[in-house]
Amino acid sequence: MSSLGASFRLARAGWVLVREGVVAALPGDQLEGLPKIGWQVARLLTRRRARKSVRSDRLAKAVARLGPSYVKLGQFLATRPDVVGDDIALDLALLQDSMATFPMSEAVEAIEGSLGRKVSDLYLSIGAPIAAASIAQVHPAEVATPEGPRKVAVKVIRPGVRRRFFQDLESYFLAARLQERFVPSSRRLRPVEITETMAQTTKIEMDFRLEAAAYSELGENTRDDPGFRVPSVDWERTGRDVLTMEWIDGVKLNDIEGLRAAGFDLQAIAATLVQSFLRHTLRDGFFHADMHPGNMFVDANGDIVAVDLGISGRLGKKEQRFLAEILYGFITRNYMRVAEVHFEAGYVPRHHNVAAFAQAIRAIGEPIHGQPAETISMAKLLTLLFEVTELFDMETRPELVLLQKTMVVVEGVARTLDPAFNMWKTAEPVVGNWIAGNLGPRGLMIDARDGLGALLSLARQAPDLSARAERLSREIDAMAENGLRFDAATARAIGKAEARHTRSGRIALWVIALTLVYIAWQLL
């Protein structure tokens, strides 16, 4: 029944997207065959009012009708321009605060249920919500401290959002499986894996204790950084459904006139923003992955304060080195080294030719060096690089795409603050310091220390590994003598999987048929 329910919910979502003109707004002129016919039918079924609105308005109306879980889906897809395209990702990013607020009584109930105390015991006062998004809304409040009352921000989860999201998640997985089955070209993008990533990301985002931990970690990493910080967390008043943190008084980065009126140096803020982001990615391997201007303030001291850390990104040492070396390779025009880094990281399959890949990268890098420095976009360079890697069978790397998306946003904010912003000049000190510290003599010593630690860990595990190897050897000998056999549980699991696969296909066909009947009835 869950598959049937997911099919109907998916059909309803498709109908809403068609009626609100979202499908018609997609670029369908280059399509052929059935997809082209479907796009043309979608244009005919679009509401008259929707035809007159811009695409971002159509998206906003569609997700408002579909509910909070689809707003969250839109926000997640805004982080995947490789899947939906840059233009649609930009439109989806505008949906950050498009939800209506929920009643104060429900917020109080969520706070008391999560913290196990009365609101009057937790806060001196708590006000009406001032902002609402897909998962939560924010209230101003005051708490008692030895120094006197202190203003805080209280983030409260939206009632019922978990249940609604996990119901709709079944529809997302159904759509991803159908896409992989019927659109072979999309398999490189791994839609099922993307859906799994979204599910995990949202589970984390809907537990405010984990967001609080992200604030704490980023706060520790940036404690001594110039010009950047995050709010402090009030752990006593933080639980799964509520997050209490420092109130930030400042000017949002999207209020350019307000920043000028306050006397801030916009060029310095732009440089601080980009250098801070690069430090977080290269030095710490942990970065704020939703740095749109609505999530960043400039306080009275001129420091950038980043909020809403529900989405964060991590890079391992391999990814940090990959990013630094490709940026440095483009700066120095060492295209062969950029190509070698891709192969060393395992991002491009070994059966491809390194020199041919270097040639493709040169086609990206050479036009850049003929332009004025302030017109060169590092984010655009990474976008072009990932487009070229598609030709060489490089599969989607979620951690790199999230990095790319965030860099696009950060660079865009910096250029809004300073139209003549020189990305390369600003980035060079941070990238250069990382290269010197990690690929020079000190870097070799660090790698040697890490290698020695790994050898010691392997030595401690030697008895267990030896026992496992002996057991595996016996199992291989038995398999060679008796052949490969399935136990009863494995056979039943295979049978159930095949039956479920066939049943899902039949259900999808019935839902499509019923949807067509419903559409025809609506048109009568």
**Residues labelled catalytic:** 290
Amino acid letter, 439: L
- Strands 136-145 and 228-229 turn out to be unpaired
Element (H, E) at 352: none
Q: How far apart are the C-alpha atoms of 184 and 265, rounded to whole Å? A: 51
Q: How far apart are the C-alpha atoms of 479 and 36, rounded to whole Å? A: 52
Q: Concatenate the DSSP letters of all residues of 331-351 into one string.
A: HHT-HHHHHHHHHHTT-S-TT
Closest alpha carbon to 402 in 379, 381, 423: 379
Secondary structure of 50-88 in the HEC alphabet? Answer: HHCCCHHHHHHHHHHHHCHHHHHHHHHHCCCHHHHCHHH
Look up tokens 């980009």; give the residue: 274
* Residue 243 DSSP class: E
Q: How far apart are the C-alpha atoms of 247 and 232, rounded to whole Å? A: 9
Report helix angle 191-205 to 161-182, nearest 10.
170
Closest alpha carbon to 232 in 143, 315, 341, 111: 143
Helices vs. strands in the chain: H and E counts, helices first: 23, 11
What value does the CA radius of gyration of the chain take, rounded to a whole number of Å? 26
Other beta carbons less than 10 A from residue 101's beta carbon: 16
Structure tokens at 315: 């890079």
Q: How far apart are the C-alpha atoms of 277 and 426, rounded to whole Å? A: 12
Q: How far apart are the C-alpha atoms of 416 and 199, rounded to whole Å? A: 33
Beta carbons within 8 Å of 80's beta carbon, 6+ residues apart: 89, 194, 401, 405
Q: How far apart are the C-alpha atoms of 115 and 240, rounded to whole Å? A: 8
Structure tokens at 249: 């008084």
- Calculate ∠ Cα 322-191-59, nearest 5°: 105
Give start and end residues of each alpha helix (H) in 396-461: 398-417, 423-439, 441-460
